Amino acid sequence: SQSCLHLMTFYVLLSEAAIRQANWDASEVRDKLCRDIDAHASSKQLTLALNEPVESLLEAGRRDTWASIRKLLKRETEVVVSDFSKTIAGFELKQTTVDSMVQNLRDYAINLVRKKAREDAGKVLICMKDRFSTVFKQDNDSMPRVWTGKEDIRAITKDARSASLRLLSVLAAIRLSENPDKIENVLFSSLMDGAVAVPSSQDRSIKASADPLASSTWEEVSPTDTLITPVQCKSLWRQFIAETEYTVTQAVSAQRSDPRSGIPEKLLIGTKNWGSTLIGYEVKMLLVELVSLCDGSYGFMKSHLSVPASPNLE
Protein backbone atom coordinates (compact mmCIF):
# COMPACT_ATOMS: atom_id res chain seq x y z
CA SER A 1 0.00 0.00 0.00
CA GLN A 2 0.99 3.63 -0.25
CA SER A 3 1.62 3.84 3.48
CA CYS A 4 4.11 0.98 3.23
CA LEU A 5 6.07 2.82 0.55
CA HIS A 6 6.88 5.50 3.08
CA LEU A 7 8.68 2.85 5.12
CA MET A 8 11.34 2.20 2.47
CA THR A 9 13.78 4.57 4.14
CA PHE A 10 13.17 2.83 7.45
CA TYR A 11 13.80 -0.58 5.86
CA VAL A 12 17.12 0.59 4.39
CA LEU A 13 18.27 1.94 7.73
CA LEU A 14 17.11 -1.26 9.44
CA SER A 15 19.11 -3.46 7.07
CA GLU A 16 22.20 -1.31 7.50
CA ALA A 17 21.90 -1.56 11.27
CA ALA A 18 21.50 -5.35 11.31
CA ILE A 19 24.28 -7.38 12.92
CA ARG A 20 25.36 -10.07 10.48
CA GLN A 21 26.41 -12.54 13.15
CA ALA A 22 23.02 -12.29 14.85
CA ASN A 23 21.25 -13.56 11.72
CA TRP A 24 18.16 -11.41 12.47
CA ASP A 25 15.04 -11.66 10.33
CA ALA A 26 13.26 -8.32 10.49
CA SER A 27 10.53 -9.27 8.00
CA GLU A 28 7.92 -10.14 10.66
CA VAL A 29 8.49 -6.91 12.56
CA ARG A 30 8.43 -4.96 9.32
CA ASP A 31 5.16 -6.55 8.18
CA LYS A 32 3.51 -5.97 11.55
CA LEU A 33 4.55 -2.33 11.51
CA CYS A 34 3.18 -1.94 8.01
CA ARG A 35 -0.15 -3.52 9.01
CA ASP A 36 -0.40 -1.28 12.06
CA ILE A 37 0.20 1.81 9.94
CA ASP A 38 -2.46 0.70 7.45
CA ALA A 39 -4.92 0.13 10.31
CA HIS A 40 -4.17 3.61 11.64
CA ALA A 41 -4.70 5.11 8.18
CA SER A 42 -8.04 3.30 7.90
CA SER A 43 -9.11 4.65 11.29
CA LYS A 44 -8.24 8.16 10.17
CA GLN A 45 -10.26 7.61 6.99
CA LEU A 46 -13.27 6.60 9.09
CA THR A 47 -12.90 9.69 11.27
CA LEU A 48 -12.93 11.98 8.24
CA ALA A 49 -15.87 10.15 6.69
CA LEU A 50 -18.08 10.10 9.80
CA ASN A 51 -17.35 12.98 12.19
CA GLU A 52 -18.78 15.99 10.37
CA PRO A 53 -21.67 14.18 8.59
CA VAL A 54 -22.84 12.60 11.86
CA GLU A 55 -22.69 15.93 13.68
CA SER A 56 -24.66 17.59 10.88
CA LEU A 57 -27.34 14.90 11.01
CA LEU A 58 -27.64 15.13 14.80
CA GLU A 59 -27.95 18.92 14.73
CA ALA A 60 -30.66 18.69 12.06
CA GLY A 61 -32.83 16.83 14.57
CA ARG A 62 -35.13 15.18 12.02
CA ARG A 63 -37.32 12.14 12.59
CA ASP A 64 -35.10 10.12 10.25
CA THR A 65 -31.84 11.30 11.83
CA TRP A 66 -30.82 7.96 13.34
CA ALA A 67 -31.92 6.00 10.27
CA SER A 68 -29.67 8.27 8.20
CA ILE A 69 -26.79 7.83 10.66
CA ARG A 70 -27.11 4.04 10.53
CA LYS A 71 -27.08 4.15 6.73
CA LEU A 72 -24.03 6.43 6.69
CA LEU A 73 -22.19 4.30 9.26
CA LYS A 74 -22.78 1.10 7.31
CA ARG A 75 -21.77 2.60 3.97
CA GLU A 76 -18.56 4.29 5.11
CA THR A 77 -17.49 1.35 7.27
CA GLU A 78 -17.88 -1.10 4.40
CA VAL A 79 -15.81 1.12 2.10
CA VAL A 80 -12.94 1.37 4.60
CA VAL A 81 -13.08 -2.33 5.55
CA SER A 82 -12.99 -3.33 1.88
CA ASP A 83 -9.94 -1.14 1.18
CA PHE A 84 -8.18 -2.38 4.31
CA SER A 85 -8.86 -6.04 3.49
CA LYS A 86 -7.33 -5.61 0.04
CA THR A 87 -4.28 -3.90 1.54
CA ILE A 88 -3.45 -6.66 4.03
CA ALA A 89 -4.26 -9.52 1.64
CA GLY A 90 -0.59 -9.85 0.70
CA PHE A 91 0.60 -10.46 4.26
CA GLU A 92 -0.67 -14.07 4.39
CA LEU A 93 -2.27 -13.59 7.78
CA LYS A 94 -4.42 -16.10 9.62
CA GLN A 95 -8.13 -15.54 9.06
CA THR A 96 -8.67 -15.05 12.79
CA THR A 97 -6.13 -12.21 12.72
CA VAL A 98 -7.82 -10.61 9.72
CA ASP A 99 -11.25 -10.91 11.34
CA SER A 100 -9.94 -9.33 14.54
CA MET A 101 -8.43 -6.36 12.70
CA VAL A 102 -11.60 -5.83 10.66
CA GLN A 103 -13.75 -5.99 13.81
CA ASN A 104 -11.50 -3.41 15.44
CA LEU A 105 -12.23 -1.05 12.56
CA ARG A 106 -15.98 -1.66 12.84
CA ASP A 107 -15.87 -1.03 16.59
CA TYR A 108 -13.86 2.13 16.00
CA ALA A 109 -16.53 3.45 13.62
CA ILE A 110 -19.34 2.71 16.08
CA ASN A 111 -17.46 4.38 18.92
CA LEU A 112 -16.95 7.46 16.75
CA VAL A 113 -20.72 7.83 16.35
CA ARG A 114 -21.39 7.18 20.02
CA LYS A 115 -18.78 9.74 21.06
CA LYS A 116 -20.20 12.38 18.72
CA ALA A 117 -23.73 11.75 20.00
CA ARG A 118 -22.58 12.17 23.61
CA GLU A 119 -20.82 15.42 22.74
CA ASP A 120 -23.96 16.85 21.13
CA ALA A 121 -26.17 15.65 23.99
CA GLY A 122 -23.92 17.59 26.36
CA LYS A 123 -24.77 20.84 24.58
CA VAL A 124 -28.40 20.03 23.77
CA LEU A 125 -29.82 23.12 25.50
CA ILE A 126 -27.70 25.42 23.34
CA CYS A 127 -28.75 23.51 20.22
CA MET A 128 -32.43 23.69 21.22
CA LYS A 129 -32.28 27.45 21.73
CA ASP A 130 -30.51 27.91 18.40
CA ARG A 131 -33.18 25.83 16.66
CA PHE A 132 -35.96 27.80 18.35
CA SER A 133 -34.39 31.10 17.32
CA THR A 134 -34.02 29.98 13.71
CA VAL A 135 -37.60 28.72 13.32
CA PHE A 136 -39.14 31.60 15.29
CA LYS A 137 -37.24 34.49 13.70
CA GLN A 138 -37.14 33.27 10.09
CA ASP A 139 -39.98 32.51 7.70
CA ASN A 140 -40.23 29.53 5.36
CA ASP A 141 -37.93 31.29 2.89
CA SER A 142 -35.26 31.76 5.60
CA MET A 143 -35.92 35.50 5.60
CA PRO A 144 -36.12 37.49 8.87
CA ARG A 145 -39.68 37.89 10.11
CA VAL A 146 -41.17 41.39 10.34
CA TRP A 147 -43.81 41.52 13.05
CA THR A 148 -46.55 43.56 11.33
CA GLY A 149 -49.55 42.15 13.17
CA LYS A 150 -50.53 39.61 10.54
CA GLU A 151 -48.36 36.84 11.96
CA ASP A 152 -49.81 34.17 14.23
CA ILE A 153 -47.23 34.33 17.01
CA ARG A 154 -48.87 31.50 18.93
CA ALA A 155 -48.61 29.12 15.96
CA ILE A 156 -45.05 30.22 15.18
CA THR A 157 -44.05 29.68 18.81
CA LYS A 158 -45.60 26.21 18.74
CA ASP A 159 -43.68 25.29 15.57
CA ALA A 160 -40.40 26.58 17.00
CA ARG A 161 -40.87 24.71 20.27
CA SER A 162 -41.82 21.53 18.40
CA ALA A 163 -38.61 21.68 16.36
CA SER A 164 -36.59 22.15 19.55
CA LEU A 165 -38.36 19.31 21.36
CA ARG A 166 -37.79 16.98 18.41
CA LEU A 167 -34.09 17.79 18.62
CA LEU A 168 -34.18 16.85 22.31
CA SER A 169 -35.85 13.54 21.48
CA VAL A 170 -33.18 12.77 18.86
CA LEU A 171 -30.34 13.39 21.32
CA ALA A 172 -31.99 11.61 24.25
CA ALA A 173 -30.65 8.20 23.19
CA ILE A 174 -28.28 6.44 20.81
CA ARG A 175 -30.20 4.40 18.24
CA LEU A 176 -27.71 2.31 16.28
CA SER A 177 -30.12 -0.61 16.25
CA GLU A 178 -33.47 -0.46 14.47
CA ASN A 179 -35.42 -1.23 17.64
CA PRO A 180 -38.26 1.32 18.03
CA ASP A 181 -38.72 3.43 21.14
CA LYS A 182 -41.35 5.80 22.54
CA ILE A 183 -39.12 8.73 23.48
CA GLU A 184 -40.59 11.22 21.00
CA ASN A 185 -44.12 10.13 21.85
CA VAL A 186 -43.57 10.55 25.59
CA LEU A 187 -41.86 13.93 25.24
CA PHE A 188 -44.49 15.47 22.98
CA SER A 189 -47.40 14.06 24.97
CA SER A 190 -45.95 15.27 28.26
CA LEU A 191 -44.40 18.60 27.30
CA MET A 192 -46.53 19.81 24.39
CA ASP A 193 -49.88 18.62 25.80
CA GLY A 194 -50.37 16.30 22.85
CA ALA A 195 -50.64 19.28 20.50
CA VAL A 196 -48.07 17.88 18.09
CA ALA A 197 -48.75 14.63 16.27
CA VAL A 198 -46.14 11.90 16.24
CA PRO A 199 -45.56 9.49 13.35
CA SER A 200 -48.38 6.99 12.90
CA SER A 201 -45.83 4.18 12.76
CA GLN A 202 -44.97 4.73 16.40
CA ASP A 203 -46.89 3.06 19.16
CA ARG A 204 -49.07 5.79 20.64
CA SER A 205 -49.75 3.93 23.85
CA ILE A 206 -47.88 5.40 26.81
CA LYS A 207 -47.56 3.57 30.06
CA ALA A 208 -50.10 4.97 32.48
CA SER A 209 -48.33 7.26 34.88
CA ALA A 210 -49.00 10.54 36.61
CA ASP A 211 -45.69 11.77 35.20
CA PRO A 212 -43.98 9.57 32.59
CA LEU A 213 -40.90 11.79 32.78
CA ALA A 214 -40.35 11.16 36.49
CA SER A 215 -37.92 8.37 35.71
CA SER A 216 -34.22 7.82 35.14
CA THR A 217 -34.71 5.30 32.32
CA TRP A 218 -36.49 5.12 28.99
CA GLU A 219 -38.69 2.17 28.20
CA GLU A 220 -37.02 -0.18 25.68
CA VAL A 221 -33.73 1.78 25.79
CA SER A 222 -30.66 0.35 27.53
CA PRO A 223 -28.75 2.50 30.04
CA THR A 224 -25.65 2.37 27.81
CA ASP A 225 -27.65 3.93 24.96
CA THR A 226 -29.30 6.58 27.14
CA LEU A 227 -27.82 10.05 26.72
CA ILE A 228 -30.47 12.16 28.49
CA THR A 229 -32.84 10.59 31.02
CA PRO A 230 -36.58 11.41 31.15
CA VAL A 231 -36.23 13.50 34.30
CA GLN A 232 -33.31 15.38 32.75
CA CYS A 233 -35.41 16.08 29.65
CA LYS A 234 -38.13 17.58 31.83
CA SER A 235 -35.64 19.84 33.60
CA LEU A 236 -34.01 20.89 30.33
CA TRP A 237 -37.40 21.74 28.84
CA ARG A 238 -38.32 23.99 31.75
CA GLN A 239 -35.01 25.81 31.42
CA PHE A 240 -35.47 26.07 27.66
CA ILE A 241 -38.95 27.61 28.03
CA ALA A 242 -37.68 30.11 30.59
CA GLU A 243 -34.72 31.17 28.45
CA THR A 244 -36.72 31.59 25.22
CA GLU A 245 -39.77 33.33 26.68
CA TYR A 246 -38.17 36.75 26.27
CA THR A 247 -37.86 36.18 22.51
CA VAL A 248 -41.61 35.58 22.30
CA THR A 249 -42.36 38.61 24.47
CA GLN A 250 -40.22 40.81 22.23
CA ALA A 251 -42.13 39.64 19.16
CA VAL A 252 -45.49 40.35 20.81
CA SER A 253 -44.33 43.83 21.79
CA ALA A 254 -43.01 44.53 18.30
CA GLN A 255 -46.28 43.37 16.77
CA ARG A 256 -48.33 45.59 19.07
CA SER A 257 -46.08 48.55 18.35
CA ASP A 258 -46.37 48.25 14.58
CA PRO A 259 -48.81 50.82 13.08
CA ARG A 260 -50.12 48.06 10.82
CA SER A 261 -51.21 45.91 13.75
CA GLY A 262 -54.94 46.22 13.09
CA ILE A 263 -56.21 49.26 15.05
CA PRO A 264 -59.85 49.99 14.11
CA GLU A 265 -59.84 52.72 11.45
CA LYS A 266 -62.30 54.99 13.34
CA LEU A 267 -59.94 55.18 16.28
CA LEU A 268 -57.34 56.81 14.05
CA ILE A 269 -59.60 59.76 13.08
CA GLY A 270 -57.79 62.95 13.92
CA THR A 271 -54.36 61.31 13.85
CA LYS A 272 -53.85 60.87 10.11
CA ASN A 273 -52.38 64.33 9.61
CA TRP A 274 -49.92 64.11 12.47
CA GLY A 275 -49.00 60.45 12.55
CA SER A 276 -45.44 61.30 11.63
CA THR A 277 -44.96 63.50 14.69
CA LEU A 278 -43.71 62.20 18.02
CA ILE A 279 -47.02 62.93 19.75
CA GLY A 280 -48.99 61.21 17.00
CA TYR A 281 -46.78 58.15 17.22
CA GLU A 282 -47.21 57.94 20.99
CA VAL A 283 -50.99 58.18 20.65
CA LYS A 284 -51.00 55.38 18.09
CA MET A 285 -48.88 53.22 20.35
CA LEU A 286 -51.30 53.89 23.20
CA LEU A 287 -54.18 52.80 20.97
CA VAL A 288 -52.33 49.62 20.09
CA GLU A 289 -51.88 48.76 23.75
CA LEU A 290 -55.52 49.55 24.55
CA VAL A 291 -56.79 47.43 21.68
CA SER A 292 -54.62 44.58 22.86
CA LEU A 293 -55.76 44.88 26.47
CA CYS A 294 -59.40 45.03 25.44
CA ASP A 295 -58.95 42.07 23.11
CA GLY A 296 -59.83 44.21 20.10
CA SER A 297 -63.24 45.21 21.41
CA TYR A 298 -64.03 48.41 19.53
CA GLY A 299 -67.34 48.84 21.35
CA PHE A 300 -65.57 49.12 24.67
CA MET A 301 -62.98 51.48 23.19
CA LYS A 302 -65.57 53.74 21.59
CA SER A 303 -67.39 54.29 24.87
CA HIS A 304 -64.27 54.92 26.94
CA LEU A 305 -61.84 56.67 24.61
CA SER A 306 -62.08 60.03 22.89
CA VAL A 307 -59.37 60.70 20.33
CA PRO A 308 -58.43 64.40 20.23
CA ALA A 309 -58.65 66.37 17.03
CA SER A 310 -55.55 66.99 15.01
CA PRO A 311 -53.51 69.77 16.63
CA ASN A 312 -52.54 72.86 14.73
CA LEU A 313 -48.86 72.28 14.00
CA GLU A 314 -48.36 75.57 12.17
Question: If you write DSSP's letter for every residue of 169-206 in order, what string do you get?
Answer: HHHTB---S-----HHHHHHHHHSTT-S---TTS----
Same domain, 89 and 134: no
Same domain, 112 and 136: no
- More reliable by pLDDT, 86 or 25: 86
Same domain, 300 and 227: no
Check pLDDT > 70 for residue 289.
no
Same domain, 18 and 118: yes
The residue-averaged pLDDT of 182-188 equals 95
Same domain, 144 and 206: yes
Same domain, 100 and 138: no
* Residue 178 in domain: yes
* Residue 272 in domain: yes
Q: What is the tens place of the pLDDT at every residue in 224-268?
A: 999 999 999 999 999 999 999 999 999 998 888 766 655 444 444
Helix-helix angle 124-137:95-122, to 10 degrees = 60
The residue-averaged pLDDT of 54-61 equals 95
Look at residues 64, 98, 122 and tell me which one is the last residue of a structural domain: 122
> For residue 265, what pLDDT is reported?
44
> For residue 211, what pLDDT is reported?
86
Same domain, 75 and 157: no
The residue-averaged pLDDT of 86-114 equals 88
* Cα–Cα separations (whole angstroms), residue 88 to 41, 78, 98, 201: 13, 15, 8, 45
Alpha carbons within 13 A on the beta-carbon side of 302: 6
Same domain, 134 and 231: yes
* Residue 233 in domain: yes
Check pLDDT > 70 for residue 312.
no
Domain interval for residue 80: 2-122
Same domain, 161 and 235: yes
Check pLDDT > 50 for residue 300.
no
> For residue 73, what pLDDT is reported?
97
Same domain, 234 and 275: no
Q: What percent of the chain has pLDDT over 90?
A: 49
Look at residues 106, 122, 138 and tell me which one is the last residue of a structural domain: 122
* Cα–Cα separations (whole angstroms), residue 255 to 131, 135, 144: 22, 17, 14
* Residue 309 in domain: no
Measure CA of the first residue to CA of the last residue in the chain; give whole Å: 91
> For residue 207, what pLDDT is reported?
45
> For residue 149, what pLDDT is reported?
83
> For residue 43, what pLDDT is reported?
86
Distance CA 130, CA 59 (A): 10
Check pLDDT > 50 for residue 308.
no
The residue-averaged pLDDT of 119-129 equals 97
The residue-averaged pLDDT of 62-86 equals 94
The number of folded domains in the chain is 3
The residue-averaged pLDDT of 102-120 equals 95
Same domain, 147 and 116: no
> For residue 103, what pLDDT is reported?
93
Lowest-confidence segment of 137-151, 249-263, 278-292 by average pLDDT:
278-292
Distance CA 238, CA 252 (A): 21
* Residue 251 in domain: no
Mean pLDDT of the chain: 77
Same domain, 107 and 163: no
Look at residues 122, 153, 175 and tell me which one is the last residue of a structural domain: 122
* Residue 257 in domain: no
* Residue 259 in domain: no
Check pLDDT > 70 for residue 290.
no
DSSP secondary structure letter of residue 311: P
Check pLDDT > 90 for residue 3.
no
> For residue 29, what pLDDT is reported?
52
* Residue 143 in domain: yes
Choose the most confident range, by mean pLDDT, from 27-31, 120-124, 143-147, 250-254. Answer: 120-124
The residue-averaged pLDDT of 63-90 equals 92
pLDDT interval class at 195 (50, 70, 90): very low
> For residue 25, what pLDDT is reported?
53
> For residue 205, what pLDDT is reported?
47
The residue-averaged pLDDT of 200-225 equals 74
Check pLDDT > 90 for residue 185.
yes
